[in-house]
């Protein structure tokens, strides 16, 4: 290993007086030289002048865009404003365009800035190569840029001279593609805003693990499992521990991206972390979840580690969840709050959570979409698997946290961190709206059935969840027959490659064939 002072001097000399950010003491001599050479190339040896903004300037720019979006600026406004800014900014060379597949895996294309400014209304791609999208014989799809999602990004994490946007996937005729749940979620949000003046606020609590070694999931078999970076626990990490340094670094990037962080800390299990950020509209929150995971993975890799979002990567310790806090705003007021209501919730909120509980088993496959996620629904580890609501019992699927008029909300605790966030929010809101819109007799029946059902807990294996999903008419109503069948078939494919019984330790197939891990090479190793 290179001593820190020598490594810093080497970096300064080889980078022409500018120091890369990766912590040198975590790298071997060969890794250090390799990184420095890559850094020199990224700098163009002084021949390029790509945009690199300070974290403070990034934060200011991104929060300005965020406030404009919150104040109701249109997609057309952002398109005009930001395309003009990109034309004028010669330091921007490329636009990173993001979308996700049916299972929620992030995909990114880099478009040359000059090309995208000329052709952003005619961006096409091969949908047959994306999980859950089109067939080989009907492959072409379009991407429409959501300019309101643009973010100025840290050059040391994402590369210099780039900006990042999310896209809507569209069919050949330009209409929303039915299997793209970012588009579907946006359409649902617009419908609520226009017809009822309601906006849905969402704040997630996304947990993950930091493991030693790069690509630890893909190398699960060769490494004989995962290795902790620390064996500390809840709120317990020294300031210079690798886990703490990782959390700090990810939190810095999130601030620059406009997340508006609230708190971060190690979680209960060893090497586990959680970084919380402020609520916002449901589409933006889903975008942030994918950015959160992307940032965590990139920062971890720069430290020679892996950020893992498997729900239960190690048997015998707590798993990772993605608790979803939701509330409705109307005319500037939180309509989930009622001072005299049970749990200080309004009738609207109670109807909303009733709709979720009533459809819980059928939705479980969307909220917990992997073989591994059913290890987390284990009552021995604070498992949120009981189909009920409580203000104190953390085994309940739905919890009502302590709150006031501003913070009153419903917390759905059963969601796993590997769920498609757009599809998850779409399903939860749709289920909640069924409760809100139910006639009195239907609503009474829903409440009664929740209490008297024989099955009072969520499915405990993916096979049970698939069966409940298949039988659920509500899921067909929400997703449509085609999407329901496509999603089910994807889950069956992986379930059939994994043991029917979970057992007491994590099996390789549930890691290697997980939708966020697998690739062509791993898929062929079966």
Expressed as residue numbers, the domain containing 19 is 4-46
* pLDDT confidence of residue 46: 65
pLDDT digits (tens, 9 = 90+) for 458-508: 999 999 999 999 999 999 999 999 999 999 999 999 999 999 899 889 999
Half-sphere exposure of 443 (CA within 13 A, CB side): 16
Number of domains in the chain: 3
Indicate whether 188 belongs to any domain: no
Same domain for 261 and 117?
A: no
**Which of 128, 151, 179 represents a domain boundary (last residue)?**
179
Same domain for 71 and 26?
A: no
Same domain for 219 and 310?
A: yes
Indicate whether 390 belongs to any domain: yes
Task: Identify the residue whose tokens are 């800390």.
Answer: 265
* pLDDT confidence of residue 2: 43
Task: Let me know: does 106 contact 298? Beta carbons within 8 Å.
Answer: no
Same domain for 97 and 209?
A: no
* Cβ burial, residue 457 (10 Å; 0-12/13-18/19+): middle
Same domain for 355 and 314?
A: yes
- Of 369, 372, 363, the residue nearest 432 (C-alpha): 363
* pLDDT confidence of residue 137: 53
* pLDDT confidence of residue 3: 47
CATH code: domain of residue 92 = 3.10.20.70
Q: What share of the chain is helix, strand, coil (3-state, %, to 5)?
A: 45, 20, 35
* pLDDT confidence of residue 251: 96
Q: What whole-number distance in Å separates Cα of residue 286 and Cα of residue 149?
A: 11
Q: In degrees rounded to 5, what are phi and psi of residue 491?
A: -70, -35
Q: What whole-number distance in Å separates Cα of residue 411 and Cα of residue 409?
A: 6
CB atoms within 10 A of CB 236: 16
* pLDDT confidence of residue 21: 47
Q: What whole-number distance in Å separates Cα of residue 217 and Cα of residue 517?
A: 7
Using 70 as the pLDDT threshold, list the residues of the chain that sit under it.
1-46, 136-138, 233-236, 379-382
| Strand pairing category for 272-277 and 261-266 | antiparallel
Q: Which two tokens stand for residue 489?
A: 């078939």
Q: Tell me the CA distances in angstroms from 321 to 197, 311, 374, 380, 393, one per residue in order.
A: 31, 6, 11, 15, 16
Same domain for 334 and 205?
A: yes
* pLDDT confidence of residue 49: 84
């Amino acid at each position: 290993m290179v001593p820190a002072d020598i490594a810093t001097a080497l970096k300064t000399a080889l980078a022409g007086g500018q120091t890369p950010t990766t912590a040198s003491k975590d790298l071997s001599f060969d890794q250090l030289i390799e990184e420095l050479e890559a850094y020199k190339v990224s700098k163009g040896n002084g021949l390029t002048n790509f945009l690199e903004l300070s974290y403070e300037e990034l934060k200011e720019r991104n929060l300005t865009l965020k406030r404009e979006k919150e104040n109701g600026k249109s997609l057309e406004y952002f398109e005009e404003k930001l395309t003009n800014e990109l034309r004028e900014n010669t330091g921007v060379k490329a636009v990173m365009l993001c979308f996700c597949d049916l299972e929620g895996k992030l995909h990114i294309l880099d478009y040359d800035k000059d090309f995208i400014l000329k052709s952003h209304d005619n961006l096409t791609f091969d949908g047959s190569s994306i999980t859950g999208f089109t067939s080989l014989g009907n492959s072409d799809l379009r991407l429409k840029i959501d300019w309101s999602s643009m973010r100025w990004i840290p050059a040391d994490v994402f590369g210099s001279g780039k900006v990042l946007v999310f896209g809507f996937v569209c069919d050949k005729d330009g209409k929303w593609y039915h299997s793209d749940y970012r588009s579907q979620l946006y359409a649902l949000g617009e419908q609520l805003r226009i017809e009822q003046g309601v906006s849905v606020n969402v704040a997630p609590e996304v947990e993950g693990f930091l493991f030693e070694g790069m690509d630890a999931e893909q190398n699960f078999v060769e490494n004989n499992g995962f290795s902790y970076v620390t064996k500390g626990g809840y709120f317990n990490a020294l300031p210079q521990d690798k886990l703490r340094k990782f959390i700090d670094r990810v939190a810095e990037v999130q601030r620059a991206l406009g997340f508006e962080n609230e708190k971060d800390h190690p979680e209960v299990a060893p090497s586990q972390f959680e970084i919380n950020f402020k609520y916002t509209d449901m589409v933006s929150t889903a975008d942030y979840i994918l950015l959160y995971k992307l940032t965590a993975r990139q920062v971890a890799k720069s430290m020679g580690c892996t950020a893992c979002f498997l729900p239960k990567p190690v048997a015998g310790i707590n798993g990772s969840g993605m608790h979803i806090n939701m509330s409705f705003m109307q005319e500037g007021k939180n309509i989930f709050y009622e001072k005299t209501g049970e749990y200080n919730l309004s009738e609207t909120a109670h109807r909303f959570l009733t709709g979720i509980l009533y459809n819980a088993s059928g939705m479980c496959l969307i909220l917990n979409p992997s073989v591994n996620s059913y290890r987390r629904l284990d009552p021995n580890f604070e498992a949120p698997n009981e189909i009920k609501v409580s203000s104190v019992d953390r085994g309940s699927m739905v919890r009502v946290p302590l709150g006031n008029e501003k913070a009153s909300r419903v917390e759905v605790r059963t969601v796993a961190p590997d769920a498609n966030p757009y599809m998850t929010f779409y399903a939860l809101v749709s289920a909640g709206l069924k409760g809100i819109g139910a006639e009195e007799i239907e609503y009474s029946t829903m409440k009664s059935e929740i209490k008297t059902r024989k099955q009072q807990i969520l499915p405990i294996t993916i096979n049970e969840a698939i069966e409940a999903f298949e039988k659920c008419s509500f899921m067909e109503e929400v997703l449509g027959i085609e999407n329901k069948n496509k999603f089910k078939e994807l889950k069956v494919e992986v379930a059939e490659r994994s043991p029917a019984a979970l057992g007491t330790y994590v099996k390789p197939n549930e890691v290697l064939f997980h939708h966020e891990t697998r690739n062509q090479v791993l898929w062929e190793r079966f």
